[in-house]
Amino acid sequence: MATPTSQLHDTARSAALTTLNEDEEMFRASVREFAEGEIRPRVEAMEEAAKLDADLLKQCFELGLMGIETPEEYGGAGGTFFQAILAVEEVSRVDASVGVCVDVQNTLVGNAFLRYGTEAQKKTYAPQLATDKIGAYCLSEASSGSDAFALQTKAVDKGDHYLLNGQKLWITNGNEAEIFIVFANANPEQGYKGITAFIVEKTFDGITIGKKENKLGIRASSTTEVIFEDCIVPKENLLGELGKGYKVSIETLNEGRIGIGAQMVGIARAAFDAAVAYSGERVQFGKSINTYQGVQFQLAEMAVELEAARLLVYNAARLKDAGLPFVKEAAIAKLHSSRAAEHIASKAIEIFGGYGYVKDYPVEKYWRDCKIGAIYEGTSNMQLMTIAKLITQGKQPLTNG
């Protein structure tokens, strides 16, 4: 049992982990200015076209949002994981489709190269990903969703290269991406221990971008099939060790879940802010509806959920940057933030009344956009499984004090 003194230290440590310093505040402000000035005017058109604006993506690169953690020697911003999380939150507050593009680029693709890439691979690909080329993370398949290690894509050793055959589904950035991290089994008889990560360029022979999904939310973000038919991949494009792709995927997704948490916080913030503003403008029975206790209590509950989600996400990001255990905290952050975003967006629709149900007002989009948070990069049930396993096996206690 923790003593009062240790509890005090835990509280102080938690406060330090979630407080922004001056540089982080300035970074947040610059991303917010960009999101409001450049993204917001394009949101409606991108939503209707179900496509990200190419000029906007170019600006994301120019601002340094696509290589936040990438060291300056590789053309990146040389920032922290926490800054990447702030960027995803601020961008997602305006548009979750752009938010997930920035998120995948930084927390999945970029991180995988920085952690597992050889020096030659980093010199080749990191500058491209930081300055002008979008990446995609190809793991999911028709038969392997939560059971990611049931994947059927195969890689056959042909001496100086591998031949990849298989079909990936639900690939974010599929249409825009030029660099793909692809997981395939190079030794199927060894089960998951044969899974290996490969770097595949869009220009390689044998890679085809398939159908784009017609989605409920984050509609401007492309989610596609990626098909490999005797795709030729040079031996030097193996990412990490042969047969260690499961390690690459698990460890990268652990970080990616914090990014999805940040996306959910951004959406929840947008829905909450809209509800607060509208409740002060909407007059019923001669008074603004935010003067009625029923509405006030709903707003208060939404504020509590939002603040808890934000602190959980920030805490997980701080732990990651500090090199401390964060897997349980990442799972908790993603689980709670996705639930909070869905509930806050739903309540915002109710506060808007009939206006909340039509596309002339923004809150219905927030609900559609946040629903994916309980599904991708690990469903809510998978987060519960991770949390339970770490607690019951004593691998991560309830606190990191």
Distance CA(186)–CA(324), nearest Å, equals 32
Label residues 287-321 b or e (16+ Cβ within 10 Å = b): eebbeeeebeebbeebeebbeebbbbbbbbbbbbb
Q: Is-catalytic flag, 377?
A: yes
Name the packing angle between helices 96-103 and 81-94 (round to 10°).
160
Name the packing angle between helices 81-94 and 245-281 (round to 10°).
40
- In DSSP terms, which residues pair with 208 in a beta bridge? 227
Q: How many CB atoms within 10 Å of residue 350?
A: 13
Distance CA(43)–CA(373), nearest Å, equals 20
Spatial neighbors of 27 by CB under 8 A, at least 6 apart, are 79, 83, 86, 87
Distance CA(113)–CA(181), nearest Å, equals 9
* 3 CB burial (10 A radius; 0-12, 13-18, 19+): exposed
Helix (H, G, I), strand (E, B) or coil at 214: coil
Q: Which of the following is catalytic: 90, 225, 342, 377?
A: 377
Helix%, strand%, coil% for the chain, nearest 5: 60, 15, 25
Helix (H, G, I), strand (E, B) or coil at 308: helix
Beta-strand relationship, 179-185 and 161-172: unpaired
Q: What is the 3-state secondary structure (H, E, C) of 226-280?
A: EEEEEEEEEHHHEECCCCCHHHHHHHHHHHHHHHHHHHHHHHHHHHHHHHHHHHH
The H-assigned helical ranges of 282-292 are none
Question: Distance from first CA to last CA of the chain, Å, rounded?
Answer: 12
Q: What are the catalytic residues?
A: 377
